């Protein structure tokens, strides 16, 4: 049996657009209302409210629960039971934001196929994002980002996931025209196609012909003979095998591109989210594409 008094406090908080107003309406101390709302969220396993300095916002689960409270379709207790059951049995929608480079890998395809087989009641929504997003306000469960892109909110968990080896490449036509650099110093006389990762690897005064976080753009430009670029090996290995790209500076060891998983901290992490995080790490370990930093 759920505590319906706490649910009533939740409804008042939404209705009056603030914890202080709800506390005044219910003749309770603000700290007590806040504590009981946190306990309600803990019991359900979902964050219901996004608290800001001036007002509150509803998460996707909070919006759903408030609609149930305000309607006469279900009793309050039934609504809370339904929401809690969603967390016990993985179902509903799982939203993920991933960098485009990960979406084209066999590894990620394998993860998605395995997840949908294990949890057929969960519907996946996957979008490509190169920048950090606010998980709560976009109702996103998991984001995968390079380590140099910190999460929007410090409350989110940021966990090392994989390290992608990278390689510097150019097309044979470009090298035939411009010559092949033998050292980092010789790159100064070449057309460089860079991004934030390559900027961290090359000398600080390096000048770039094109600078973009769109790795597919850089790969396509290098393929078309427009310059030299440094990309995750997984993106260019097929082209290397086909002779479209030529690896450069093979004797120089570039640092791997570290990738992190970002998701809500407990107790606001849903079961379907926990299952995806676990499967991502498990699959990466099995396929040998993972390397946990010390």
Supply the DSSP string of 208-239, one letter for each residue.
-SEE-S-HHHHHHHHHTTS-EEEEEHHHHHHH
Helix/strand/coil for 246: strand
pTM listed for this prediction: 0.58
- Encode pLDDT of 192-214 as tens digits: 999 888 888 888 888 999 998 88
Top mean pLDDT of 48-62, 136-150, 170-184, 243-257 is at: 170-184
Greater confidence (225 vs 74) lies with 225
Task: Name the one residue in this structure whose structure tokens are 């207790």.
Answer: 77
Give residue 73's pLDDT band: very low, low, confident or very high (50, 70, 90): very low
DSSP 3-state of 60: helix
End-to-end CA distance of the chain: 46
H or E element that contains 30: helix 30-44
């Amino acid at each position: 049996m759920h505590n319906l008094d706490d649910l009533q406090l939740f409804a008042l908080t939404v209705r009056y657009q603030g914890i202080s107003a709800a506390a005044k309406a219910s003749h309770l101390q603000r700290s007590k209302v806040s504590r009981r709302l946190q306990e309600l969220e803990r019991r359900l396993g979902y964050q219901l409210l996004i608290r800001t300095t001036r007002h509150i916002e509803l998460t996707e689960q909070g919006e759903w629960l408030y609609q149930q409270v305000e309607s006469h379709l279900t009793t309050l207790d039934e609504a809370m039971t339904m929401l809690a059951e969603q967390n016990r049995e993985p179902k509903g929608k799982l939203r993920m934001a991933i960098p485009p480079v990960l979406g084209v890998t066999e590894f990620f395809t394998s993860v998605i196929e395995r997840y949908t087989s294990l949890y057929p009641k969960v519907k996946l929504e996957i979008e490509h994002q190169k920048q950090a997003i606010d998980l709560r306000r976009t109702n996103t469960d998991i984001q995968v980002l390079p380590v140099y892109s910190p999460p929007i909110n410090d409350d989110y968990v940021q966990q090392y996931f994989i390290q992608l080896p990278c390689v510097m490449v150019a097309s044979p036509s470009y090298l035939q025209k411009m010559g092949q650099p033998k050292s980092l110093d010789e790159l100064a006389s070449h057309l460089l196609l860079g991004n934030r990762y390559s900027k961290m690897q090359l000398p600080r005064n390096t000048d770039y012909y094109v600078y973009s976080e769109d790795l597919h753009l850089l790969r396509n430009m290098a393929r078309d003979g427009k310059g030299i670029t440094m990309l995750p090996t997984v993106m260019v290995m097929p082209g290397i095998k086909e002779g479209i790209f030529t690896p450069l500076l093979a004797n120089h060891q570039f640092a791997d591109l570290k990738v992190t998983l970002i998701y809500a901290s407990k107790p606001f992490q849903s079961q379907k989210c926990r299952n995806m995080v676990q499967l991502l790490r498990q699959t990466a370990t099995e396929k040998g594409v993972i390397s946990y930093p010390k």
